[in-house]
C-alpha cells in the first residue's frame, strides 16, 4: 500500500486553489488532483467570473506603475527561482510564486515594506471582504514565511462599490483596501495541519466522504451527481421550497423522497401545499386568491421584461461597479380583453450608454394607463428608477409609471397556484413548460446570465466577426421576446385553471 500511496501523490503540489477546494471538501480536492478530467467543465457563467477576476487583477496592478510581473510557467521551481531573484529589486511584484515542500502560492501583489519586509496584497473582484478571503491569504502567508519572506501586513484590495465613473477610469478610486492582518494571523496556526491533512488524503485512494451539511454551499459542485446519486430522480427532499435545513434533517433520518415525509414533520404552510400536490399528483389552485390577483389588472396590459449587464469595471459614465444597466427590453401589449398581443422591443446597438434611449422608448411605449406586468416586478422597477436617478428628466414620469406595476410572480410566491412539477421553484423558466407547450431549453440563449455575457461579448469585443454578432443579436431578440410571451401564456393558463377549479367545486 505504501508504494501505491507514493504513486498517487507523486508530484502533487498544493496550490492556493487546491487548498481552498480542500477546505470545502477533501473528496473534491482529491478529484481535482487525480481525476480532474472526469469533473464537469466550468460553464459560461463561471468562466466569466474567472475572466472578471483576471481583469480586476490587471486593473489593480496599474496602481503600482513600477511593478514587475513574474512570468508564469508550468515549472513552479522556475517561478520560485525568478521570484527569489526579483526580491532583491525591492519593487512591487505581481504573481511572485514560492515553492515549499508540497505547497506553492503566487501573490497578486507583494509590496516592499521597510528594509526587508513585504506587504501581501490579495486582489478580489468582490465589493467587501468574505470569510474565504482570510483563509486564502493565510495560506499564502504560510507559504511565503516558510519560504523565508518577512510578511509585515496583509491587505485585501477589493472593488469600491461607491466609485462612480466619470470620464477616464480612475484605478485608484476603483479599489478600496482593507488591512486583514489580524484576522489572517488568527487563522495562520491552522494552516500547517490543514496542509498536512490534504497532502495525506491525496496519497490515498479516493476518500469515502459522505455528503452532509458541509455541502450546503456545494449542491452545484462538480461532484454533485456522484455524491448525491442516492437521491430519487424526482421529488428529492432538496426540492422542498426554501427547505435546505429541513432537507438535511430529513436525509439524516434516512428520508430522501418528499413522498415519504412523516405527517408530524415540521413544515411551513407552503411546504405542506407542495407535498400535498406531489402526493395527490395534481396542482394546488386557490381560485379566490387568483381572482383577487386578476382584479388588479386593467387594460391595456403591458408585459415587460429587461435584460441587463452589470460589469464589475464600469463601462459607462455615471455608473458604479456592478450597476445593472438595461440594454434590451421586450414589451407585449394587449389593448383589450381578447385582443391579439402587439410586440414592441428594443436592443441597444453600439457602445453608447443605452439608458437614455431605453427610458425614452419606454416612456413612449408604456402609455399613460393600464397595468404593467412583470415577473419579479421589483427588479424591473429598480432598474428603471436607477436609470432615472442618473437621467433625472425622466424621474417624475416614471414615478407615476411605477404605480402601475403588478408582479405576476406574486401568484406563485403566495402559492395561489402550485404544480408538483415546479420542484419547489418559482422561476418563469420552471413555470412556463408546466402551463404551456413552450420552454427555454434548446435555445441559443436560454437564461439572463448568458444573455448578458453574450451581449457584452459581441458589443465590446472588436474581434467578434459580424456574422457571430448578428446571430447573437437575433438570439437575444428571440430570448427576450419569449420572456414576455411567457407571461401572457402563464396568465391565460392561470385564468383557465381558476375557472376549471371553480367549476369542479360546484
DSSP string, 181-224: HHHHHHHGGGHHHHHHHHHHHHTSSPP-----GGGTT-TTSTTH
Check residue 7 and give its pLDDT. Answer: 37
The three cell numbers locating residue 265: 414533520
93 backbone dihedrals φ, ψ, rounded to 5°: -115, 130
Cα distance between residue 178 and residue 239, in whole Å: 39
Specify whether the CB–CB gap between 328 and 363 falls below 8 A. no
* pLDDT higher than 70, residue 95: yes
Cα distance between residue 212 and residue 253, in whole Å: 12
Q: How confident is the model at residue 45 (pLDDT cuts 50, 70, 90)?
A: confident
Please give the C-alpha separations between residue 450 and each of 363, 375, 428, 456, 482, in angstroms, as whole numbers. Answer: 28, 18, 16, 10, 15
Q: Which of 155, 163, 167, 138 is nearest to 19 (CA)?
A: 138
Biggest alpha carbon–alpha carbon distance for the chain: 88
Cα distance between residue 321 and residue 59, in whole Å: 13
* pLDDT higher than 80, residue 505: no
* pLDDT higher than 50, residue 47: yes
Helix/strand/coil (H, E, C) string of 108-164? EEEEEECCCEEEEEEECCCCCCCHHHHHHHHHHHHHHHHCCCEEEEEEEEEECCCCC
The three cell numbers locating residue 226: 456522484
Specify whether the CB–CB gap between 283 and 504 falls below 8 A. no
Please give the C-alpha separations between residue 208 and each of 27, 38, 70, 350, 420, in angstroms, as whole numbers. Answer: 8, 17, 39, 54, 34
* pLDDT higher than 80, residue 73: yes
pLDDT digits (tens, 9 = 90+) for 316-366: 999 999 999 999 999 999 999 999 999 999 999 999 999 999 999 999 999
Q: How confident is the model at residue 224 (pLDDT cuts 50, 70, 90)?
A: confident
* pLDDT higher than 90, residue 164: yes
More confidently predicted of 5 and 75: 75
What does DSSP say about strands 301-309 and 150-159: parallel, antiparallel, or unpaired?
unpaired
> CA 502: distance to chain centroid?
41
Check residue 219 and give its pLDDT. Answer: 57
What does DSSP say about strands 405-407 and 371-374: parallel, antiparallel, or unpaired?
parallel
Check residue 187 and give its pLDDT. Answer: 96
Q: Which of 357, 272, 348 is nearest to 307 (CA)?
A: 348
Specify whether the CB–CB gap between 451 and 308 falls below 8 A. no
The whole-number average pLDDT for the span 72-77 is 90
Check residue 6 and give its pLDDT. Answer: 34
Please give the C-alpha separations between residue 79 and each of 95, 100, 199, 352, 443, in angstroms, as whole numbers. Answer: 9, 12, 22, 42, 44
Q: Which residues pair with 14 in a beta bridge?
A: 103
* pLDDT higher than 70, residue 87: yes
Q: How confident is the model at residue 460 (pLDDT cuts 50, 70, 90)?
A: very high
Return the CA Rg of the chain.
27
The three cell numbers locating residue 413: 410566491
Q: Which of 194, 61, 77 is nearest to 147 (CA)?
A: 77
> CA 323: distance to chain centroid?
15
Q: How confident is the model at residue 42 (pLDDT cuts 50, 70, 90)?
A: confident
Check residue 11 and give its pLDDT. Answer: 64
Contacts of 252 (CB under 8 A, 6+ apart): 212
Please give the C-alpha separations between residue 413 and each of 281, 417, 427, in angstroms, as whole numbers. Answer: 20, 9, 10
Contacts of 131 (CB under 8 A, 6+ apart): none
pLDDT digits (tens, 9 = 90+) for 257-312: 999 999 999 999 999 999 999 999 999 999 999 999 999 999 999 999 999 999 99
Residues of the chain with pLDDT > 90: what percent? 85
* pLDDT higher than 70, residue 9: no
Burial of 265 (0-12, 13-18, 19+ CB in 10 A): middle
Cα distance between residue 404 and residue 388, in whole Å: 17
pLDDT, averaged across the chain: 93
* pLDDT higher than 70, residue 106: yes
Cα distance between residue 256 and residue 89, in whole Å: 60
Amino acid at each position: 500500500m505504501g508504494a501505491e500511496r507514493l504513486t498517487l501523490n507523486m508530484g502533487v503540489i498544493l496550490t492556493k486553489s487546491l487548498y481552498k477546494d480542500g477546505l470545502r471538501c477533501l473528496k473534491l480536492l482529491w478529484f481535482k488532483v487525480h481525476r480532474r478530467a472526469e469533473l464537469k467543465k466550468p460553464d459560461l457563467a463561471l468562466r466569466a467570473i474567472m475572466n472578471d477576476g483576471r481583469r480586476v487583477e490587471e486593473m489593480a496592478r496599474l496602481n503600482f506603475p513600477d511593478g514587475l510581473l513574474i512570468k508564469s510557467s508550468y515549472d513552479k521551481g522556475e517561478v520560485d527561482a525568478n521570484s527569489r531573484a526579483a526580491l532583491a529589486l525591492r519593487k512591487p511584484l505581481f504573481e511572485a510564486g514560492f515553492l515549499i515542500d508540497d505547497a506553492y502560492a503566487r501573490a497578486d501583489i507583494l509590496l516592499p515594506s521597510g528594509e526587508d519586509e513585504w506587504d501581501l496584497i490579495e486582489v478580489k473582484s468582490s465589493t467587501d471582504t468574505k470569510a474565504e478571503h482570510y483563509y486564502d491569504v493565510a495560506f499564502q502567508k504560510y507559504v511565503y514565511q516558510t519560504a523565508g519572506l518577512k510578511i509585515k501586513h496583509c491587505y485585501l484590495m477589493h472593488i469600491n462599490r461607491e466609485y462612480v465613473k466619470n470620464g477616464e477610469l480612475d484605478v485608484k478610486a476603483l479599489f478600496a483596501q482593507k488591512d486583514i492582518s489580524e484576522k489572517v494571523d488568527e487563522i495562520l496556526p491552522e494552516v500547517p495541519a490543514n496542509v498536512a491533512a490534504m497532502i495525506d488524503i491525496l496519497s490515498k485512494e479516493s476518500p469515502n466522504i459522505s455528503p452532509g451539511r458541509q455541502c450546503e454551499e456545494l449542491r452545484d459542485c462538480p461532484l454533485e451527481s456522484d455524491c448525491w446519486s442516492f437521491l430519487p430522480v424526482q421529488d428529492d427532499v432538496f426540492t422542498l421550497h426554501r427547505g435546505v435545513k429541513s432537507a438535511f434533517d430529513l436525509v439524516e433520518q434516512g428520508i430522501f423522497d418528499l413522498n415519504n415525509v412523516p405527517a408530524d414533520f415540521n413544515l411551513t404552510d407552503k411546504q405542506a401545499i407542495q407535498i400535498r400536490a406531489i402526493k395527490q399528483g395534481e396542482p394546488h389552485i386557490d381560485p379566490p386568491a387568483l381572482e383577487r390577483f386578476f382584479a388588479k389588472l386593467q387594460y391595456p396590459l403591458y408585459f415587460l421584461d429587461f435584460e441587463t449587464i452589470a460589469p464589475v469595471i464600469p463601462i459607462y459614465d455615471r455608473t458604479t461597479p456592478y450597476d445593472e444597466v438595461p440594454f434590451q427590453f421586450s414589451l407585449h401589449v394587449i389593448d383589450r380583453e381578447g385582443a391579439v398581443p402587439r410586440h414592441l422591443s428594443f436592443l441597444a446597438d453600439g457602445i453608447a450608454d443605452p439608458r437614455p434611449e431605453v427610458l425614452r422608448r419606454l416612456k413612449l411605449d408604456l402609455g399613460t394607463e393600464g397595468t404593467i406586468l412583470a415577473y419579479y416586478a421589483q427588479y424591473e422597477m429598480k432598474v428603471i428608477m436607477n436609470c432615472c436617478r442618473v437621467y433625472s428628466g425622466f424621474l417624475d414620469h416614471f414615478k407615476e409609471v411605477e404605480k402601475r406595476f403588478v408582479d405576476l410572480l406574486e401568484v406563485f410566491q403566495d402559492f395561489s397556484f402550485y404544480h408538483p412539477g415546479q420542484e419547489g421553484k418559482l422561476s418563469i423558466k420552471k413555470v412556463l413548460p408546466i402551463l404551456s407547450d413552450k420552454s427555454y431549453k434548446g435555445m441559443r440563449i436560454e437564461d439572463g446570465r448568458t444573455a448578458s455575457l453574450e451581449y457584452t461579448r459581441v458589443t465590446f469585443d472588436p474581434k467578434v466577426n459580424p456574422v457571430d454578432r448578428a446571430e447573437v443579436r437575433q438570439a437575444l431578440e428571440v430570448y427576450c421576446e419569449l420572456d414576455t410571451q411567457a407571461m401572457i401564456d402563464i396568465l391565460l393558463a392561470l385564468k383557465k385553471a381558476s375557472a376549471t377549479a371553480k367549476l369542479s367545486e360546484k
